[in-house]
Each structure stands twice: as structure tokens, then as C-alpha cells.
Structure 1
Amino acid sequence: MSKIRITKQFSFETGHALYGYDGKCKNVHGHSYKLSVTVIGTPITDTTNVKYGMVIDFGDLKRIVKSEIVDKFDHATVFNKNTPHVELAAELQQRDHNVILVNYQPTSENMVIDFSEKIKKNLPPHIQLHSLKLQETDTSFAEWYACDNQ
């Protein structure tokens, strides 16, 4: 049976700041992120299975990505918790803002690595994460491919 790639796209709004950066992105700012999630597998051949012909139900993939990424990162501000931004994060949290503290500089590159781990651990065993594309702007994005990370 042929391997098939399935892609689902998501959108969310997230703010961040890059501590120590030498440009404008050192300031707190936000992006309208677009995340494309591609998985690979073989379509189900069991004609008695309600998911017959599918690699994975798009709804099941949506549930995973929404719960692990979109619902957490949408309208949140992400800071590297190993920088003085932790003080700003505490102030924002006291004012009931949604803040996510991570162990990395919250660049698109590092976020897409983080997202790959979150998604992989929740996929059914017969489905593999093939790639992710995280668009920060219409012309700037980071990509993660499983074949590059074996």
C-alpha cells in the first residue's frame, strides 16, 4: 500500500520577544502564525473500519494540534524563562495575561522544534510526523522535516 502525506493547516496569534537580539525583535511583538502539519502513513484498508480509506481523520489530527499547540499558544506571549524577561512575564501573569515560559529563545526555528515533539508524542503509532512549516509572516517561515532529524 502506498504511503500518503496528509496536511492540515492552523492559525494562531502569539506574542514573543527575543532577549539579547540586536534588532527590533528584542521588543515584545506578535505574529499571526500559520502552522502546516504533515503526517505520513498508509490509508486504512479494513472496510469495516469507519475510518476506511483514511491515513488519519483530519478531525483527529486537528484535536491533537489544537490541544497541544493552538489552544495553548493562541493569544499568549512566549518568553525564554532563562532571561530577565521572566520578570516581565511575572508582571503580565499578575495582570491575568496568558504567558508561556520556555527553555529556549522563542524563535520560529525553536518553536517548530518544540511543536514537533508535542505533536509526535500524541500521534497514533502507525502515523509519523513528516514535516512542519511555521510561518511567522507571509514571507518568513521555519520548516522541520523528520528525515532531517533522525
Structure 2
Amino acid sequence: MTREETIDHNIKTTWHAIARMYNQQASKQDITTSIGFVLLNISSREGTPATKIAPLMGLEARSLTRVLKNMETKGLIYRKPDEQDKRSVRIYLTPEGKQKKEVSRNTVLRFNEEVRKRIPQEKLDVFFDVINDVNKIIENNSIYD
């Protein structure tokens, strides 16, 4: 079996192509794809607890900390103690953060619309079934036992 025939190779190369495309769009806004995805996971109205963002994105908290510091430096977010739980910190979007979130949202929507325009729904249904099955296999984590 060649690497081009492996499941993981195809998922990885496709994701890298998507990330490159998103990074090209993000760089026009002076942000990164990572920042764009974080923006999409912060509530525009009530903010989001800092501890909830990493799990939403499948990231480690340490990785997110660097991105959040960068976003704060760029003036996209600010932190505030949670009103109900003073031990917790909420992340809020600044007006510029809200504008960049909208750009990020439109970028993702445009890509998805284009894919849905070009690929029949039946094929997308099979794709989603397969991806869900692959995720279940990984979650089972009994592959190498």
C-alpha cells in the first residue's frame, strides 16, 4: 500500500490544502487560520469561558494560551472575570474581533457552499458517514491493544 492509498495521508493532505487556502484568506485580514477558528468559537454576545474554547477546537489549553495572547495583542479580544464565578475568566470579542469573526465565518461558509455546489449530496452523505466511522474507530482506541 502506498502512502497515497492510506486514509490518514488523504485526510492530512486535504486538511493541509484547506488550511493553506484559509491561511491565504486570513493573511489578507492580518490574522491566521487558528485565530479565525478561535474567533468562530467565541460568543459575540456573552463571551465564552476561556476553559471552554480549547475543547471546542480539539486543542490543548497550552496551545490556545499562545493564540489568545496573540489575539489580545492584536486587539481582537479582551478578558474579564466571569460575573457568576469570579475564579473563571470569560473571553470577549472587541469590535475588531467581531468584524474578523464575520470575515472568518463568511470564508468558511463560502468554501462549504462551493463544495456543496460541486459535489452531489449523496456523495457528501457517504463522506460524512465514513468520517464519522473513522472517528468512532479512533475514539474506541482499541486499534493497537
> Which protein has the bigger strand share?
1
The TM-score range, normalised by the shorter chain, is under 0.3
TM-score normalized by the length of structure 2:
0.25
Normalising by structure 1, we get a TM-score of 0.25
RCO greater where, 1 or 2, for CA within 8 Å and sep 6 or more?
Answer: 1
Q: Which has the higher helix share?
A: 2
